[in-house]
Structure 1
Amino acid sequence: MSIMDASGLPATTPDSNQYSAIPTTPSFPPPSRRVSYVASPSLTSLASQLPSNLGRSRQVHDLVRALGLLQDEEQEGQGGRDGDEGRASSPPRATILPPLKVGRKEIGRFHDLDYVDALLSPKTVVSPTNSPTSSPSSSSQSSSDDEEESDSSSSPKRKRFKPDPTPTSNLSRKLLSLQKFGLLDDSPPFPSLAPYVLALAGAALRAAQSVKDGTSDVALCWDGGRHHGRREAASGFCYINDAVLVILSLLQQRISIPNPPLSDPQEEDDRPEKTRKPRILYLDFDVHHGDGVANAFLSPLSLPHPTSSTTTSTSSKPLPGTPQVVTLSIHHHAVGFFPSSSLSSLTAIDTPHPHTLSLPLQVGASASSLKRVWEDCVEKVRESWKPDWVVVCCGVDGMAGDGKGVWNLGASEEEGELGWCVRKVVDWKGGIRGKVLLGGGGYNHPNAARAFANFTSIALGRPPLDPRTPIPEEGIADEDWESFAPSFDLEVPVGNMRDLNSSDYLDDVCQTFAVLAERIRTI
Structure 2
Amino acid sequence: MQSIDDSEVPARPASRVVYVVSEELVKASSLLPSNRNRSFLVHSLVAALDLFKAVNPDLDGQKYMQVIRPRRASPRELLVYHTRDYLEYALGPAARDSQDQSQISEFGLEDDCPPFHNMHEYIQLVAGATLTAVDALKDGVCDVAICWDGGRHHAQKSKASGFCYVADCVLAILALKKNRPAAKITSTSNTLPTITTRKPRVMYVDLDVHFSDAVSQAFYNASSTASSQILTLSIHHTSPGFFPPSLLSDLSNPDDPAFDPFTLSLPLKAGASNRTFARIWPIVDGVEKTFDPDFIVIQCGVDGLAGDPVATWNWCLGDGEGSLGSWLEKMLREWRGKKLLLGGGGYNSANAARAWAYLTSIAMGNRLPVDTDILEHRALPLYQPSFTLDVPAGNMRDENSEEYLLEVERRFERIREVLSCRLSGATGSA
Does the pair score TM above 0.5?
yes
Where structure 1 has 5 or more consecutive residues not aligned to the other structure, the ranges are 4-11, 22-31, 128-170, 261-272, 304-318
Offset, 1:71: 3.8
Q: Contact 1:299 / 1:323 at 8 angstroms: preserved in 2?
A: no
Match of 2:155 among 206, 229, 241: 229
Q: Secondary structure at the match of 1:115?
A: helix
- Comparing 226-235 with 32-41, greater Cα deviation is found at 32-41
| Distance in 1 (alpha carbons) for counterparts of 2:134 and 2:81 | 15
1:401 aligns with 2:307: yes
CA–CA separation in structure 2 for the residues paired with 1:84 and 1:336: 52
Instruction: Give 2:411's aligned amino acid.
Output: T
Q: What is the CA distance between 1:227 and its match in structure 2?
A: 0.4
Q: Which residue of 1 aligns with 2:20?
A: 38
Listed one character per residue, the Cα deviations across residues 321-342 of structure 1 (whole Å, up to 9, x for unaligned) are: x321110000000000000001
How many Å separate the matches in 2 of 1:259 and 1:35? Answer: 26
* Distance in 2 (alpha carbons) for counterparts of 1:126 and 1:410: 43
More helix by percentage: 2
Larger radius of gyration: 1
How far 1:257 moved relative to its partner?
3.4
Specify the alignment match of 1:510 in structure 2: 409
Cα contact 1:126–1:190 (8 A) shared by 2: no
Percentage of identical aligned residues: 43
Matches within 5 A, 1:375-394: 375=282, 377-394=283-300
Query: Aligned-pair distance for 1:201?
Result: 0.9
Q: CA shift at 1:18, angstroms? A: 2.6
* 2:67 corresponds to: 96
The structure 2 residue matched to 1:500, chosen from 399, 402, 407, is 399
The residue type paired with residue 52 of structure 2 is: L
- Classify 1:460/1:325 alpha carbon distance in 2 versus 1 (closer, same or farther; 3 Å): same
> Over residues 368-421 of structure 1, what are the superposed CA-to-partner deviations in whole Å (9 max), with x where a residue is unaligned?
10111112x101101110111100100000000000240001111421111111
The Cα shift of 1:302 comes to 3.6
Partner of 2:236, secondary structure, is strand
How far residue 93 of structure 1 moved from its aligned partner, in angstroms, is 2.7
User: Structure 1 stretches (4+) deviating beyond 6 angstroms?
Assistant: none
User: How far did residue 483 of structure 1 move?
Assistant: 1.1
Structure 2 counterpart SS, 1:125: helix
Q: Which runs of 5+ in 2 are unaligned?
A: 187-194, 423-430
**SS of residue in 2 equivalent to 1:347:** coil
2:268 to 361, 372, 381: 361
State how far apart, in whole Å, the 2-side matches of 1:208 and 1:381 are: 23
2:118 corresponds to 1:192: yes
AA partner of residue 16 (structure 2):
R
Report the CA distance between 1:481 and its aligned residue.
1.6
Q: Spell out the pairing of 1:83-482 with structure 2 (5 A cutoff).
A: 85-87=59-61, 93-126=64-97, 171=99, 174-257=100-183, 275-299=197-221, 301-303=223-225, 319=226, 322-351=227-256, 352-375=259-282, 377-430=283-336, 432=337, 434-462=338-366, 464-473=367-376, 476-477=377-378, 480-482=379-381
CA distance in 2, matches of 1:114, 1:20: 37
SS at match of 1:96: strand
Q: Cα RMSD between the aligned structures?
A: 2.3
CA distance in 2 between partners of 1:18 and 1:68 (Å): 13
- Contact 2:206–2:212 (8 Å) recurs in 1: yes
Shift of 1:275: 4.3
Q: Quick one: distance in 2 between partners of 1:85 and 1:280? A: 31
Q: In the aligned structure 1, how far is the partner of 2:281 from the partner of 2:241?
A: 26
What TM-score, normalized to structure 2?
Answer: 0.90
Residue of structure 1 in register with 2:192 after alignment: none
Partner AA of 1:398 in structure 2: G
Aligned-partner residue type, residue 390 of structure 2:
E
Alpha-carbon distance between aligned partners in 2 of 1:219 and 1:259, rounded to the nearest angstrom: 25
